[in-house]
Amino acid sequence: MKRKKMMGMLLTAAMVTGSMASAFTCMAADEKPYDGVNLSIMIENGTDESSYQPILDLIKEKMGITVEVEFKPAGSEGTNLIKTRLLSGNMTDLMIYNVGSLLSALNPQDYFIDMAGTDLAATFDDSFTQAASFEGGLYAVPAGSASGGGVMYNMDIYEKYGLEVPKTWDEFIANLDVIKEAGEVTPLIGTFADAWTAQVPFLADNYQVMHNDPAFAEGFTSGEKKFATSEAAFRSWEKLEATQPYYNEDYMATTYDMGCDMLANGEGAHYIMTCGILQNIYTLYGEDVVNRIGVFPVPGDTEEETGLTVWTSGGLYGNKNSENVDAVKAVMEFWTSDEALDVLVENSRPSGPFHNGYKLPDTVFKGVKDQMVYFEAGKTAPALEFLTPVKGANCDAICTELVTGQTTAEEAAKAYDEDCLKMAVQLGLDWK
Amino acid sequence: MKKNKRFRLLGDIIGMAAAFLIFVVPFIFILSNSLKDRREANLLQLALPETFVWKNYSEVFTANNYILLTAFKNSILLTVFSVGGLIIVCSMAGYILQRRKDGLTKAANFVTMMGLMVPPAILPTIWITQGLHIDGTMFSMVMIEIALQIPFDIMLYRGFVGTIPIELEEAGYIDGCERLGMFCKIIFPLLKPVTATVIILNAVSVFNDFTNPLYFFPGRKNATVQLTLYNFMGQYQSSYNLLFADVIIITIPMLILFIIFNKRIVDGMVAGSVKG
Amino acid sequence: MNRKRIYPAWFLLPAMSVFLVFFIIPMAVSFFFSMTVWDFSGFTFCGLDNFALFFSERSLSHSVVNTMIYAIGTSGLKVILAFFIAVFLTSGIRTKNLIRSIVFFPNLVSTVAVGMAFKALMHPTKGLFNQIIAFFGGHGPDWLGNVDMALYSVILTDVWKGVSVATVIYIAGIVSIDKNYYEAAAIDGANGWQKLKNITIPLCRPAMNSVIILSFIGGLRSFDLIWSMTGGGPGFASDVLASVVYKQYAAGFYGLSTAGNVIMLILIGLLAFPLQKFLLSKEVE
């Protein structure tokens, strides 16, 4: 008897707490629709924490979603890991990854949420929409800002040697010669221990290519135009070859980070890189140092041909096979909201304009202001990998071969054409 | 005789000096740089740190939400299961392959010999594990590690069994021992030296395996210690101090194992691989 | 007595079934996929196109040569160096156990970690090696950055890491030689070199064969160290078959990569099996 009573009391108590709990959930649901949801996101190893963690914290606070970060290695190993995990069906819920040619190699329609046609999608500019689209679907939202690629230069060195910002390729070479002859600092920083950096000078010359041959990207995709035979495109290889004499002696052992150090410390005058480097230098050396780093595009042969090549922001992808697709979509939407971007620019300075027209704060680095001139003048072009799905897998190795003098510009251009052919075959393009 | 002694002393001195210079100095380099701050470590000097930055080690441990602890758990489980499994299956197989000579064992010998040479096919392996619905599990990872080590271990066991006098088994057979019982009671204890060799060699290769877990064992909860090296090898931040601190930490378990089994490594080899 | 009954075949079953499912079947399947353009969602049969493409790849013939250099270089050095280290360590010096432990130690560290450490040591300007050379007034080479040198620098590192296993095999071979031979030779007045040449070398022949085969095959398949030290570079200068295969795989060319895998398999078959036959025939003599 006693036991029964006890039981009844317990049951009542349970019911009360139960209903209270559900009432509580109801209340919370109004504010935090996804409270308690756990998601995972894959981010490249070594990505500056300030470029994502503030948003993740805000998502936790505002939406109640806990997002656990998982890292992937850089470069082709990272790409491979993603492919393997997509293939085996245990991909993270979210992922920050390149858009452009790398996207098309993933068969995105099978794995990622298609954002095409949503109100959100309408807010992105054309360059992002094109780069994140594949066969009519839009598979990512911008994870950050666009970023120009070009020549980062140390302004103190320029002052010391009385140099002017070059407007043509010949002027650039002349500047390199002045520094080389003085023999005090490295004219051009090479960081080929991180192989991917070897291709940046080549890729960052795309404005010139698209300016002189506006149909190149399209012709390249269809297989009609080649690097070895298109005059404008071949010029990029010649320019890369011309940089040979100016690198630091230990360029094969120098990493990207060491390159940042060299540029910031004034041990090297120029470094051809994307503007993302500015945030890195800012984190390591602070405001004063980073604002002594200026930026100009890889110059064309005439002033007219000089314009900025732009890297589209990385994309935030949502896994369409996630158990919490709605939460994933909500995160993607939130990520590009003004609220999120406000927090983002507070913690991590953007390296270029955002793809949804978000107004940049005045605190942006000197180098970013330098490149905004080209954005405002409309003298920009996306890097080739955002205009065509075809990008050779061995681009960095082919560039390294050329820079180390193992090949000539002609051989490198041909080798790259062959390398791209393999990608075209894999993508099912008819190149023969 | 005196001259001989002096010779030996000279040998000792030269041997130690050479071993120290060639094999110890690189480790001093790693250890010393693991205790420097980032900028000093990136100078890559052998010199002692200006200040000892012990917190590199705690930083490695706390990095990425204590992933190193998860990694240690996974790596140790993976190593224990794989090595345990290998000892059981390979001692049995090696025993039979040495003793029995017929078409079946010939084929088995050929297949394992081939496995010693041929590189594994990664993608098709994933394809198989998916088909069996065991992809990305500890079980499949253990099976794959076992499959990769089987040829070498069978070779070791087969060689060692050759040194065991056959009379022992005949006596056991006549006594009416069950075949499995005879193996467990008579043969397996005699294989102790080679088992020690198998333990250390396999533990080292499984624990230090980097590529296979990367493909077959994905995901944060499945991280292994070698994978944590990636955390410090990112595209944008190479921090030699943390990298080397991680190297030191993840080498310690193998060092302990080595101290335990050091003397036995040769014993197992004496007959093992030599007689092939 | 009935050999078959005392040695039951089912003892082979556990090992063979694991090996079959997780090694042999994937390998067999790879022959099929090597003739496809393969990605996640499906495959298109393309006959021998992948093989043709693979052979037209400029870096391939180069990588085959590099693979041979690598395998011969590492195994050759290991066979010779490990032999002398083993003889030295069995010669009765007092510190032999300590030295053996020291030599074995690199084997405990993961290949990737060793690769990264040596990459730092081989840094052309700041690295320890070149600082030592500079101390003696020389100018050290760019170990990994020099096109003609990169592969050999990796070979040296491989030998540094791997010589211990070869040494242990040799030691095992040498200590199992009957001491009576040496005593008899000593009575005949043989000197150290004669003993080495006439007793030690011939009698540890099986150990030597194991070392040759294991390190040669290891060399042909080697990947981790090259990948962590040079990534196949500068350019393609230190690419070997395994890294070329991996690069195609990383690029998403699964069919092409599998074709490379098959080529590697055939190459190993053409080299390693005859080598082993040859060594075994020598052993019998």
Q: Is the peptide bond before A187 cis (omega within 30 degrees of 0)?
A: no
List, in sequence order, every residue forming a beta bridge with A381; answer none if it has no partner: A309
CB A422 within 8 A of CB C254: no
CB contact under 8 A, A393 and C251: yes
Kindly indicate the confidence band of residue A234, based on its pLDDT and cuts at 50, 70 and 90.
Answer: very high
* CB-nearest partner of C206 from B12, B118, B274: B274
d(CA C249, CA C226): 16
Between vectors from CA C246 to CA C242 and to CA C247, what angle results, nearest 5°?
A: 120
Q: What is the pLDDT of residue B19?
A: 85
- Cβ-contact C1, B173 below 8 angstroms: yes
Q: Shortest CB distance from C256 goes to which of A193, A195, A422?
A: A422
Contact, A163 vs A137, CB < 8 A?
A: no
Supply A309's token pair: 């090549």
Statement: residue B171 has pLDDT above 80: no
Q: Which of C59, C144, C234 sits opposite A400 (nearest CB)?
A: C234
The residues that bridge with B45 in the sheet, in sequence order, are: none
The C-alpha torsion from C129 through A73 and A344 to A119, rounded to 10°, is 150
CB contact under 8 Å between A70 and B130, yes or no, is no
Token pair recorded at residue C159: 């030998």
Closest C-alpha to A90, from B131, B67, B216, C246: B216
- pLDDT value of residue B234: 54
Angle at C245 between CA C244 and CA C246, to 5 degrees: 90
CB contact under 8 A, C142 and A192: no
* Burial class of residue A197, CB neighbours in 10 A (0-12, 13-18, 19+): buried
Within chain B, where are the H helices?
2-19, 25-33, 38-41, 55-99, 103-117, 122-131, 138-161, 167-174, 179-182, 188-190, 192-207, 211-216, 225-231, 240-261, 264-271
Looking at domain A147-311+370-426, its CATH superfamily turns out to be Periplasmic binding protein-like II (3.40.190.10)
Whether residue B121 contacts residue B60, with contact meaning beta carbons closer than 8 Å, is answered with no
Summarize the confidence of residues B39-53 as an average pLDDT: 83
Give the model's pLDDT for residue B237: 52
Percent of chain A predicted with pLDDT > 90: 62
Q: Do B42 and A257 touch (CB under 8 A)?
A: yes
Task: Tell me the two tokens of residue A20.
Answer: 């209270």
Highest mean pLDDT range out of A86-95, B140-149, B254-263, C218-227? B140-149
Tokens 């594990």 locate to B129
Q: In this structure, are strands A38-44 and A94-97 parallel, antiparallel, or unpaired?
A: parallel
The CATH architecture of the domain made up of B54-271 is Orthogonal Bundle (1.10)
Which CATH superfamily groups domain A31-145+313-347?
Periplasmic binding protein-like II (3.40.190.10)
Report d(CA B223, CA B218) in Å as an integer: 7
Question: pLDDT tens digits for A164-192?
Answer: 999 999 999 999 999 999 999 999 999 98
Q: pLDDT class for A11, splitting at 50, 70, 90?
A: very low
State whether C39 and A426 contact (CB < 8 Å): yes
Q: Do A40 and B136 touch (CB under 8 A)?
A: no
pLDDT at A148 over 80: yes
Q: In chain A, whose CA is at the least distance from the CA of C37?
A: A426
Helix H, strand E, coil C: the string for chain C is CCHHHHCCHHHHHHHHHHHHHHHHHHHHHHHHHCCEEECCCCEEECCCHHHHHHHHCHHHHHHHHHHHHHHHHHHHHHHHHHHHHHHHHCCCCCCHHHHHHHHHHHHHCCHHHHHHHHHHHCCCCCCHHHHHHHHCCCCCCCCCCCCCCHHHHHHHHHHHHHHHHHHHHHHHHHHCCCHHHHHHHHHCCCCHHHHHHHHHHHHCHHHHHHHHHHHHHHHHHCCHHHHHHCCCCCCCCCCCHHHHHHHHHHCCCHHHHHHHHHHHHHHHHHHHHHHHHHHHHHHHC
Mean pLDDT of A49-68: 91
- What's the topology of domain C65-284? MetI-like fold (1.10.3720)
Residues in B touching C112 (Cβ below 8 Å):
210, 226, 229
Is some CB atom of chain B closer than 8 A to the CB atom of A265? no
Convert the pLDDT of each residue in A113-138 to its tens digit. Answer: 999 999 999 999 988 998 999 888 99
Cα(C248)–Cα(C262) distance, rounded to whole angstroms?
13
Residue given tokens 């003609």 in the structure block: C148
The yes-or-no verdict on residue A9 having pLDDT over 80 is no
Q: Which two tokens stand for residue A393?
A: 């897998």
DSSP A51: G
A76 CB near a chain B CB, below 8 Å?
no
Angle of CA points A359, A364, A369, to nearest 5°: 90
Which value, in Å, is the radius of gyration of the alpha carbons in chain C? 23
B104 vs A213: which has the higher pLDDT? A213
Cβ proximity of A361 and A345 under 8 Å: yes
Residue A283 tokens read as 């984190």
Instruction: Convert the pLDDT of each residue in B176-228 to its tens digit.
Output: 667 787 788 888 888 888 898 889 889 988 999 887 887 788 766 788 888 77
pLDDT > 70: what percent of chain A? 92
pLDDT at B78 over 80: yes
Select from C107, C120, C144 the least CA-distant residue to B243: C120
Whether residue A402 is predicted with pLDDT greater than 90 in this model: the reply is yes
Of A4-8, A69-73, C146-150, the one with minimum mean pLDDT is A4-8
Higher pLDDT, C189 or A88: C189
> What number of H helices and E strands is found in chain A?
20, 13
Token reading at A9: 């009391």
The CA distance from A211 to A298, in Å, is 13
Angle at B4 between CA B2 and CA B10, to 5 degrees: 110
Highest mean pLDDT among A73-82, A295-304, B244-253, C215-224: A295-304
Chains with ≥3 CB–CB distances under 8 Å to A? B, C
Q: How confident is the model at residue A20 (pLDDT cuts 50, 70, 90)?
A: very low
Distances (CA, A) of B242 to A51, B54, B215, C9: 22, 11, 24, 51
Q: Tell me which residues of chain C, numbers 214 to 253, contact chain A at a CB-CB cutoff of 8 Å.
A: 231-237, 247-253
Handedness of CA B79, B83, B89, B94 (dihedral sign): positive
Q: Is there a contact between B121 and C116 if contact means CB atoms under 8 Å apart?
A: no
E strand or H helix that includes residue A290: helix A287-290
- Measured CA to CA, the distance from residue B23 to residue C105 in angstroms comes to 8
Q: How confident is the model at residue A24, as a pLDDT? A: 42
Cβ–Cβ of A46/B135 closer than 8 Å?
A: no
Q: ∠ CA C121-C125-C128 to the nearest 5 degrees?
A: 30
Predicted local confidence at residue A14, as pLDDT: 44
Handedness of CA A403, A405, A407, A408 (dihedral sign): positive
Per domain, the residue ranges of chain A are 31-145+313-347, 147-311+370-426
- From the list B30, B89, B124, the residue facing C29 with the nearest CB is B124
Tokens standing for B56? 């590199």
The domain spans of chain C are 65-284
Cβ neighbours for B85, distance < 8 A, ≥ 6 positions apart? B142, B146, C18
Read off the pLDDT of residues B253-275 as tens digits, 9 standing for 90 and up: 988 888 888 777 666 665 544 44
Name the strand (E) or helix (H) holding A278: helix A276-285
Query: Which pLDDT value is given to residue B83?
Result: 96
A49 and chain B: CB distance < 8 Å anywhere? no
In angstroms, what CA-CA distances link C127 with A65, A254, B43, B103, C113?
A: 47, 12, 8, 56, 16
Nearest to C173 among B111, B211, B274 (CB): B274
ipTM over 0.95: no
C206 and B111: CB-CB below 8 Å?
no
Confidence of residue B3 (pLDDT cuts 50, 70, 90): low
Q: Please give the distance of CA A99 from its chain centroid, rounded to a whole number.
A: 8
End-to-end CA distance of chain C: 32
pLDDT at A242 over 90: yes
Of residues A80 and A313, more confidence is placed in A313
Q: Which residues of B touch A81 (CB under 8 A)?
A: 214-215, 218
Model confidence at A299: pLDDT above 90: yes
For chain C, 285 residues long, give each residue's pLDDT as a single digit of tens.
455 567 788 888 999 999 999 999 999 998 998 898 887 567 888 888 888 877 777 767 788 889 999 999 999 999 999 999 999 888 877 888 888 888 888 888 888 889 888 988 898 888 889 888 998 988 888 898 888 999 999 999 999 998 988 898 888 888 888 888 888 888 888 888 888 888 888 888 888 888 898 899 889 888 888 988 888 878 888 999 888 888 887 777 888 888 888 888 888 888 888 888 888 887 654
Q: Which is nearest to B240 in space by CA: B41, B37, B61, B31?
A: B41
